[in-house]
Amino acid sequence: MSADLAARAAAADAADQLAHLRDRFTLPDGVVYLDGNSLGALPAGVPDRVADVVRHQWGEGLIGSWFGAGWWDAPERIGDRIAALIGAAPGQVVVGDSTSVNVFRALVMAQRLSGRDEIVVDATTFPTDGYIAESAARMTGCTLVAAHPRELTLSDRTAAVLLNHVDFRSGELWDMPALTAAIHDAGAYAVWDLSHSAGALPLALDAHGVDFAVGCTYKYLNGGPGAPAYCYVRADLLPRVEQPLPGWCSHGDPFGMEAGYRPATGATRLRTGTPEIISLLSLDAALDVWDGVDLAAVRAKSLALTTFFIDCVRALVPADRVTVLTPQTRGSQVALACDGAEAVMNALIAAQVVGDYRPPDVLRFGFAPLYLRFADALRAAEIIAKVLA
């Protein structure tokens, strides 16, 4: 059986049109890295770029680099690079702050636009999104309602609905066009968290009429630990949104030092404070790996990799030891339920198969199509079988 799977892996790797992209990353020898849904691998061009930023732009250019090296407009410039990966026209995305801050920003902007008094949050959401939604609801005088994406009940009180595009535990992918349309039918605004989908599959925010979207950049976008997040606002809403965290960098004349606040135009009004220059420019370098990459091909490989991995697990691991939680409609991760999952994951990591664990019993494996091979998926399944034996 392993021989048949090995032949399948070899054939798939030989036919892989994205195989050359692996050379754009620095990967440790002997490690099967299946945690790109938590922290992407290091793009090979990042260290030299960061060294240049520190030694030359900062070390020699000093404060002149704010404009001489293009630091000042980096949030918008890099935002446009991300916009191209999420199906958005330029001028609608700013990079900065964390995903949590941007969730708060988006929810409050949506509520202020609507004037309604209810916020709905995905009941399966990543915990931080829920914490932020609860705080945003309390601060805006709204009622907070938790609902499963399959069971949204909206009313004329609903201001905004916060949804994760991919369930962080199971990997299930929700129907963005259909859910966005349902939210709009209720007169509410859709806020999508793309942290587990951007960089793993094609997105079409503009085409689907998404109102607001946020996401981190350190997962499938490989921006590095703690890399700044991004915030998208649909172009026709930008002139009307009221930034809940106004700062000097979103002021219409930031160097005028006026006592009163006047919002900047365009996506710049989504900024707050001084940009995180070193991490921003590290992200900028990381995004070079996407040059010339077809996201449809990325999605096709993602589905093929995860399907093959599931086939390997079902062929090699006794059925009474693990349950595949991830449905066919999925992002780019596979989740397995397993007794003693935390200890199992620790043993896998010791055997150089790196995934992660989520309580109470979930083993998560994130498949980053730019640098993973089908042989990696087979090796991981073989080691899972060995550990569980």
| Residue 145, domain member (yes or no) | yes
The residues, any chain, with a CB within 8 Å of residue 371's CB and separated by 6 or more, are: 21, 22, 24, 25, 27, 33, 36, 41
Reported as a single tens digit per residue, the pLDDT across 280-307 is: 999 999 999 999 999 999 999 999 999 9
Q: Is residue 36 part of a domain?
A: no
Q: Which of 33, 104, 126, 189 is catalytic?
A: 126
The residues facing 324 across adjacent strands are 336
Q: Which residues of the chain have pLDDT under 50?
A: none
Residue 35 lies in a domain: no
Give the pLDDT confidence score for residue 49 in this predicted structure: 98
Residue closest to 171 by CA, chosen among 197, 210, 192, 204? 197
Are 224 and 122 in a shared domain? yes
Let me know whether 242 and 110 are in one domain.
Answer: yes
Check if 49 is active-site.
no
CB 188 within 8 A of CB 195: no
Last residue of one domain, picked from the residues 272, 290, 308: 290
Residue 235 lies in a domain: yes
Find the catalytic residue in 16, 122, 129, 193: 193
Same domain, 301 and 286: no
- The partner residues of 336 in beta bridges, in order of sequence, read 324, 363
d(CA 243, CA 263): 8
Catalytic residue among 364, 365, 373, 376: 364
Strands 362-366 and 189-193: what pairing?
unpaired
Q: What is the pLDDT of residue 120?
A: 98
Same domain, 150 and 247: yes
Indicate which residue of 33, 168, 189, 218 is catalytic: 218
| Separation between Cα atoms, residue 336 and residue 338, nearest integer Å | 6
pLDDT tens-digit series, residues 67-98:
999 999 999 999 999 999 999 999 999 999 99
364 is catalytic: yes
Out of 240, 265, 290, a domain closes at 290
Same domain? 87 vs 200: yes
Looking at the structure, do residues 18 and 143 belong to the same domain, yes or no?
no
Q: Confirm whether 92 is domain-assigned.
A: yes
Residues 312 and 224 in one domain: no
Q: Are residues 359 and 279 in the same domain?
A: no
Tokens representing residue 118 in the block: 């209810």
Query: Residue 62 falls within a domain, yes or no?
Result: yes
179 falls within a domain: yes
The verdict on 310 and 283 lying in the same domain is no
Alpha-carbon distance of 205 to 177, in angstroms, equals 9
Q: Specify whether 310 is located in the same domain as 245.
A: no
pLDDT at 1 (0 to 100): 66
Give the domain extent around 355: 2-30+293-388
pLDDT at residue 90 in the model = 98
Q: Is 33 a catalytic residue?
A: no
Q: What is the pLDDT of residue 2?
A: 80
Catalytic residue among 219, 234, 373, 379: 219
Q: Does residue 98 lie in a domain region? A: yes
For 171-201, letters b (16+ CB in 10 Å) and e give bbbbebeebbebbeebebbbbbbbbbbbbbb
Helix/strand/coil (H/E/C) assignment for every residue in the chain: CHHHHHHHHHHHHHHCCCHHHHHHEECCCCCEECECCCCCCEECCHHHHHHHHHHHHHCCCHHHHHHHCCCCCHHHHHHHHHHCCCCCCCCCEEECCCHHHHHHHHHHHHHHHHCCCEEEEECCCCHHHHHHHHHHHHHHCCEEEEECHHHCCCCCCEEEEEEECECCCCCEECCHHHHHHHHHHCCCEEEEECCCCECCECCCHHHHCCCEEEECCCCCCCCCCCCCCEEEECCCCCCCCCCCCCCHHHECCCCCCCCCCCECCHHHHHCCCCCCHHHHHHHHHHHHHHCCCCHHHHHHHHHHHHHHHHHHHHHHCCCCCEEECCCCCECCEEEEEECCHHHHHHHHHHCCEECEEECCCEEEEECCCCCCCHHHHHHHHHHHHHHHC
CATH of the domain at 24: 3.90.1150.10
Tell me if residue 261 is catalytic.
Answer: no
- Is 339 catalytic? The answer is no
Q: Is 340 exposed, middle or buried (0-12, 13-18, 19+ CB in 10 A)?
A: exposed
Which of 262, 290, 318 is at the close of a domain? 290
